[in-house]
C-alpha cells in the first residue's frame, strides 16, 4: 500500500481508555499519510448502553442525539473541535451490530485502513475478524 492509496482511515470509537490512546495514534497516522480520519462509534442496542428502557419509540431520535453528543464530547476532549475541523476529521454514530456497521462503513467510504482496539480474548477481536473476512481494507489492531 502506497501513501497515495491511504486516503481514508477509520478508527472505531469506544468509551474506554484504549480508545483514548488509539485516537492519538490514528490522528498521527492520518496526518503522516495526508489521509482523512473517520471516527465511527457503534451502538448495538441503545437500551443496553445505560439508557432507560422506559423510553418511547418517538423519543429514539432524541436518544440518538444524546448518544452522539456524548461520543463527540469524548472525542473533543482528545482532539479539540478546531483541530478536528482543521484535520477534516469525520464523525459518525451508527446503531446496529458493530461488526456489520464497521464493514458497511468501510465499503461506503472507501476506507483503506481500519483501526480497532482489542485484547486477546476480548469480544472486540470479532471486529477485526469481521473486517478481515468481509471488509475491503487493511486492518490494524491496537492493544
To the nearest 10°, report the CA torsion of 95, 109, 71, 116. 90
Give me the pLDDT at residue 21, please.
Answer: 86
Tell me the per-residue pLDDT of 60-87, one tens digit each, with 9 for 90 and over.
778 778 888 988 999 999 999 999 998 8
Tell me the per-residue pLDDT of 24-37, one tens digit each, with 9 for 90 and over.
999 999 999 999 99
Q: How far, rounded to the nearest angstrom, does the alpha carbon of residue 112 sit from its chain's CA centroid?
A: 14
Q: What strand order describes the sheet that includes 113-117? A: 90-95, 36-43, 8-13, 113-117, 138-142
Split at pLDDT 50, 70, 90, the class of 17 is: confident
Amino acid at each position: 500500500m502506497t501513501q497515495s492509496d491511504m486516503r481514508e482511515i477509520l478508527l472505531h470509537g469506544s468509551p474506554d481508555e484504549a480508545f483514548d490512546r488509539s485516537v492519538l495514534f490514528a490522528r498521527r497516522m492520518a496526518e503522516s499519510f495526508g489521509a482523512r480520519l473517520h471516527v465511527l462509534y457503534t451502538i448495538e442496542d441503545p437500551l443496553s448502553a445505560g439508557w432507560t428502557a422506559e423510553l418511547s419509540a418517538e423519543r429514539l431520535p432524541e436518544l440518538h442525539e444524546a448518544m452522539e453528543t456524548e461520543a463527540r464530547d469524548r472525542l473533543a476532549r482528545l482532539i479539540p473541535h478546531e483541530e478536528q475541523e482543521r484535520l477534516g476529521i469525520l464523525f459518525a454514530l451508527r446503531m446496529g451490530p458493530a461488526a456489520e456497521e464497521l464493514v458497511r462503513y468501510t465499503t461506503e467510504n472507501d476506507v483503506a485502513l481500519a483501526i480497532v482496539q482489542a485484547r486477546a480474548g476480548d469480544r472486540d477481536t470479532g471486529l477485526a475478524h469481521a473486517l478481515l473476512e468481509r471488509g475491503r481494507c487493511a486492518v490494524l489492531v491496537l492493544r
